[in-house]
Amino acid sequence: MTTLNWLDRPADQGVTWGVPWRRGAVEGAAGFALADLEGRAVPVQSWVTATWPDGSVKWSAHAIGPQADPAASYELTTGQQPAVPERPVTVVREDGVLRVSTGPVTWTIEETGDTLARSVSHGSREIARNVRLISLHQDGPTPDDAGTVTREQATGIVREVTVEQDGPVRAVIRLAGDHGGRLPFTVRLYFYAGAEDVRVMHTFVWDGDPERDFLAGLGLRADVVMRDELHDRHVRLAGQDGFLTEAVRGLTGLRRDPGEAVRRAQVEGRPCGPIGNPEVAGRLHLIPAWNDYTLDQTSADGFTLRKRAADGHAWVTVPSGTRSAGYGYLGGASGGLGFGLRDFWRLHPTRLDVRGAATALATATVWLWSPSAPAMDLRFYHDGMGQDTFAEQLEGLEITYEDYEPGFGDAHGIARTHELTLRVHDATPSSAALAGHAAAMNEPALLTAAPERLREAGVFGDWALPDRSTPAHAAIEDRLDLLFDFYRREREQRRWYGFWDYGDVMHTYDADRHTWRYDVGGYAWDNSELSPDLWLWYQYLRTGRADVFRFAEAMTRHTGEVDVYHLGRWKGLGTRHNVQHWGCSAKQLRISNAAYRRFFYYLTADERTGDLLDELARPEETFLAIDPTRKVRQDVYTPDPSALAVGLGTDWGSLVAAWLTRWERHGDEHAKDRLLGTMAGIGALPQGFLTGEARLDLATGRFDTSRDQISVSHLSSVFGLPEMCSELISLGLDVPGFERAWLDYCRLYLAPAERQAAEVGRPLSGISLVQAHSRLTAYAAARSGDAGLAALAWRKFFLDEGDQLNSNPLQREPDWRLTRVEGPHVLAHVLEAPFVSTNDAAQYGLAAIQNLALIGGHLATD
């Protein structure tokens, strides 16, 4: 039995979540049942998302529909038949049309065409129709001054519809298409039994030419049927704390009073009924009807509101505000449509539009990119500055840390995913209900198992629950909390928000300017460099903190979409850190790393994240596209299918993350063969992991094991390799030599030079990031029971010995104090910590978490 609690708070909406299981505890055919704490059965739909090598369930996923009175927690049991909802969600497919019914609401979806849903009805009454995607293409950048550009509107065309789940509790419909031959999109519609809302997961891939194609608008639009009298039609648009509450024809504030009952009814969204005052009733036609409304979120700090009586007439400004919750309602007392975008202000520029509210068929539009903003400009940010050769580019790397190469700063193939909601109403909802819907959209409900239960399942390698049993343990825990709180504060202070940017953090700080190096080559956006994704997810696993989960969730959404190519010549690869997320010429698997996505996928069963993992079904083939080390090679090499150069650190660690995930999710024999085959190859290499690089034959999936060399890189173990090796070894796979090869690497990396020389013939060179690598020594200590190695690991963690060039500045600031900077020399007053960089923070976090789990008992008490 597993107890499940809410991550943030209970919510009356459909919920999907994941649960891990100990190896051998649950057979694949076992059923799952759910009940509240009073024993009342709750209808649940369950499926398996991963299995252990023995075929038992490793991760399961579960879904429940909206609960009128959600319990504080639930109990999930195995080996039982689930309860079935009284009115299950159904999917009926006939004559090229899908009809999805949740009970109260029916969605009619055509298998091809220009809509996501042709019609939406509440009971027998049609509320909305023609739910569709729209885009605006501009033929040039928005002029700074004089100049003209041409805009063209396109409607998204659905080419393919797939029913991924069809009930009884949850149905998922996947629609794929494009905007008239450009901008491929994927949309998933999530339906739950008894729900009036549908969750819309929208992903688009940028496939334009940055010199000619400028996206001036991207949105979701729906027509709303308007039946009520104009004064019984209502528009609601979310501000920061509440809603703009208006009627299309207002009866408040008039010179003649229609009566308190009429005024109260209109404000509350109820039918006004007969208007008893003839001085008002006889003059209704003289009261302006407000046809159009717009809420424009141009930045993270402000939105504007305006409305007008009709096209061709001036807009009237409405009091504006700071951060809109991104939710609205359009309809009348007899029903209407709620609509919104999660993280609306964080993903600016965004916009909500109402048009035609005074007509028989109005439209509501949620703009993911506001047409009011300058068109999206994805051109590279500089002209190359003469860096035409590798030698010149390496010189540029020495000064700005930017790995530039002509033609490589290309956004073609990057993506962005947005979460929207549409909710059908049979009457205008109250302001309190609307506020609840907006909150549920922005922080979707999630059921979670406690950290103790996650740890007991034995997933994700080496981590343990927070431990404050001694002052030394407590000090490390305090620093882990401080680091996360620091980045959460920095995101707000530095406004790390925006369409392409939200979810990422910056790489390195500029203490002179009191800001992050947002404009200095490779020091700007981090793009997963040195695994902040892993640090955040492990910190969530051990603490269960909702704020850590939400931060890690946003990072996973960003780094998996924006920092990775999803089509084109670099499909499956990601981009190293840069001023622009796509700007660096280093296109590598270490950024598209499946290790960074697995946590979110298994905890939420999110299908879009599953797509990202499936894009790496054959990750080894990406090494045909480009040689990651082409600029610094000493040998002559071009990618060869029979002898592909694969680094045994960042490269192989990313490969096995993809292969293992593919095997445990799908039982993929190709992935299993590649995984086990390359593990055996490393075990057979004379120097194991110390070899540094091996040659892979794509046809056989095997390494050439004849190479006998020593080559060590400080980057090998900071992109998920230790975490993946720990998982692989814990699986008990019978791969001769692999565990020995990994333990040798872990023992020797930070060993004294004389020990290194005694074992491999010479001291190792390239040793750096000492604190980060202390967890390798800790792993060897834990596996061998060697107290001397444990003491060495803690000494390296605290003192960062012998690493002067890359010394961790976190270790030079014993108090980790924040400094307030204010005055006219800074853009805004800030609290800063100049000694923090994301490389160091992420690797401090991972080393601290793993050392505490592996050798916490060897930590001195003071």
pLDDT in tens, 731-760: 999 999 999 999 999 999 999 999 999 999
Angle between helices 838-855 and 532-543 (to 10 degrees): 40
Which two structure tokens, joined as six digits, stand for 299?
């930045």
Place of tokens 């996501």: 116
Q: Which residues are CB-contacts of 831 (< 8 A; sequence separation ≥ 6)?
A: 489, 493, 818, 819, 820, 821
Pairing mode, if any, of strands 157-166 and 170-179? antiparallel
Of the pLDDT bands very low, low, confident and very high (cuts 50, 70, 90), residue 637 is confident
Percent pLDDT > 90 in the chain is 94
Of the pLDDT bands very low, low, confident and very high (cuts 50, 70, 90), residue 682 is very high
pLDDT at 683 over 90: yes
Question: What is the secondary structure of 423-457 as a DSSP string?
Answer: EEESSPPPHHHHHHHHHHHHS---EEE-HHHHHHT
pLDDT at 800 over 80: no
Containing H/E element for 117? strand 117-122
pLDDT at 806: 52
Which two structure tokens, joined as six digits, stand for 347?
């993903």
**Three-state SS string across 164-184, please?**
EEECCCEEEEEEEEEECCEEE
Rg of the chain taking only CA atoms, in angstroms: 29
Cβ pair 277, 258 in contact under 8 A: yes
CB-CB neighbours of 617 under 10 Å? 16
| Cα 411 from Cα 740, distance rounded (Å) | 42
Q: Where are the alpha helices (DSSP H) in 356-422?
A: 390-400
Using DSSP's 3-state secondary structure scheme, residue 513 falls into coil
Distances (CA, A) of 738 to 643, 726, 733: 21, 11, 10
pLDDT at 9: 86
Q: Which residues are CB-contacts of 858 (< 8 A; sequence separation ≥ 6)?
A: 781, 787, 790, 791, 794
Of the pLDDT bands very low, low, confident and very high (cuts 50, 70, 90), residue 29 is confident
> Is the four-CA dihedral 30, 36, 41, 47 of positive or negative sign?
negative
Cβ pair 38, 74 in contact under 8 A: no
**Three-state SS string across 319-362, please?**
EEECCCCCEEEEEECCEEEEEEECCCCCCCCEEEEEECCCCCEE
pLDDT at 419 over 70: yes
Place of tokens 């009619």: 108
> Is the four-CA dihedral 702, 704, 706, 709 of positive or negative sign?
negative
pLDDT at 673: 98
Q: Which residues are CB-contacts of 857 (< 8 A; sequence separation ≥ 6)?
A: none
Of the pLDDT bands very low, low, confident and very high (cuts 50, 70, 90), residue 804 is very low
Pairing mode, if any, of strands 2-6 and 447-449? antiparallel
Using DSSP's 3-state secondary structure scheme, residue 368 falls into strand
Listed residue (198, 757, 846) closest to 460, CA to CA: 846
| Cα 579 from Cα 380, distance rounded (Å) | 10
Listed residue (329, 345, 347) closest to 337, CA to CA: 329
pLDDT at 335 over 80: yes
- The span from the first CA to the last CA of the chain, in angstroms, equals 40
| Cα 325 from Cα 167, distance rounded (Å) | 31
pLDDT at 633: 87
Of the pLDDT bands very low, low, confident and very high (cuts 50, 70, 90), residue 766 is confident
| Cα 99 from Cα 121, distance rounded (Å) | 11
pLDDT at 808 over 80: no
Place of tokens 């202070």: 493
pLDDT at 646 over 90: yes
pLDDT at 811: 72
pLDDT at 323 over 70: yes
| Cα 654 from Cα 572, distance rounded (Å) | 11
| Cα 433 from Cα 415, distance rounded (Å) | 33
Of the pLDDT bands very low, low, confident and very high (cuts 50, 70, 90), residue 860 is confident
Which two structure tokens, joined as six digits, stand for 90?
């159904």
Listed residue (855, 846, 845, 849) closest to 542, CA to CA: 849
pLDDT tens by residue, 444-476: 999 999 999 999 999 999 999 999 999 999 999
DSSP state of 239: -
pLDDT tens by residue, 245-296: 999 999 999 999 999 999 999 999 999 999 999 999 999 999 999 999 999 9
pLDDT at 636: 81
Calculate mean pLDDT across residues 93-109. Answer: 96
Cβ pair 338, 197 in contact under 8 A: yes
pLDDT at 612: 98
Q: What is the mean pLDDT of the chain?
A: 96
Q: Give the residue extent of every domain in the chain.
A: 2-78, 617-764
At residue 377, what is the residue type? D
Of the pLDDT bands very low, low, confident and very high (cuts 50, 70, 90), residue 628 is confident
Chain-centroid distance, C-alpha 786: 40
Listed residue (672, 692, 792) closest to 741, CA to CA: 692
pLDDT at 805: 45
| Cα 151 from Cα 364, distance rounded (Å) | 21
pLDDT at 803: 54
Cβ pair 411, 210 in contact under 8 A: yes
In degrees, to the nearest 5, what angle opens at C-alpha 644 toward C-alphas 642 and 649?
145
**Three-state SS string across 61-113, please?**
EEEECCCCCCCCEEEEEECCCCCCCCCCCEEEEECCEEEEECCCEEEEEECCE
Calculate mean pLDDT across residues 638-662. Answer: 96
CB-CB neighbours of 399 under 10 Å? 9
Q: Which residues are CB-contacts of 286 (< 8 A; sequence separation ≥ 6)?
A: none
